[in-house]
Amino acid sequence: MKEFQGFPARMDFTSIPNVFFSSLLPRITDMAELKTTLHVMAALYRKKGHPRCVSYGELLGNAGLMDSLQGVEGTPEEVLRSALKMAAERGTLVHLTLDKDGTSEDVYFLNTASDRQTVAKIESGELKLKGLTFKEQAYVEPEEQPNIFELYEDNIGMLTPMIADELRDAEKVYPENWIRDAIKEAVKQGKHKWSVVSAILQRWSVEGRSDGTYQRDSKKTDPDRFIKGKYGHMVRR
């Protein structure tokens, strides 16, 4: 590694908000995100006029930034995409996808009150950037999930009247997503029986799940609901 020769006598400075050091920097653990965030701030600081934003293409052409992303897992382009995504999800940046001559252009604003207002105006069509128009994201209809009865038949076995009653009783005690996950867990174990699904649900009620939730925390209802229910003998307070 080439040794840094020190700062010159005369040089330019970039302004960084104090809140970056007090509130944001302690939360950033990914080095690529940190480097990208600082380069975006520097690029925005040097911009003139209003509104001020930086595009993915501009960042891609920033030799200093792209060189600093070398050696990280993935290509520098992939690392840059990932870093920008993390910064936007963290709330450091506001991301917009705009249309430029029929192609998508990703642009980034600093997440300030004034820039949020600017983004809102662009999205509403009140404000237009030269050569760029807001590109609305296509709405994708979420795929409808099968109900727990269909899920049981598809993965465990024939749905008999007795098993259907068991599932209805389980619905009264456990959240639906627990029942779905218990069916999947039973299949993963290679055990296609309702007794296995039921045992998994009972174990989660007592021991908790890997996500840290307990049955008593999963539904904000009567605190005695699970004591009174069919599987109450398995539930501790």
Q: What is the CATH number of the domain that holds 113?
A: 1.10.10.10
* The amino acid at 113: A
| Same-domain check for residues 102 and 177 | no
**Distance (Å, whole) CA 42 – CA 52:** 12
Asked if residue 190 belongs to a domain, the reply is yes
Predicted confidence (pLDDT) per residue in 127-170, tens digit: 877 766 655 544 455 556 678 888 898 889 888 889 999 999 99
Asked if residue 142 belongs to a domain, the reply is no
For the cut 70, the answer to whether the pLDDT of residue 231 exceeds it is: no
pLDDT of residue 99: 81
Asked if residue 143 belongs to a domain, the reply is no
**Distance (Å, whole) CA 77 – CA 166:** 52
> Which range has highest mean pLDDT (82-96, 127-141, 152-166, 207-221)?
82-96
**Distance (Å, whole) CA 96 – CA 123:** 9
| Same-domain check for residues 174 and 109 | no
| Lowest-confidence region among 2-6, 215-219, 221-225 | 221-225
Domain count, the chain: 2
Rounded (10°) angle between helices 148-155 and 176-188:
0
Residue 223, domain extent: 148-234
**Distance (Å, whole) CA 20 – CA 5:** 27
- What is the pTM for the complete model shown? 0.55
**Distance (Å, whole) CA 235 – CA 219:** 14
Q: What average pLDDT does the segment 178-193 reach? A: 91
Asked if residue 189 belongs to a domain, the reply is yes
Asked if residue 108 belongs to a domain, the reply is yes
- Average pLDDT value over all residues in the chain: 82
Single out the residue in 103, 134, 165 at which a domain terminates.
134
| Same-domain check for residues 152 and 222 | yes
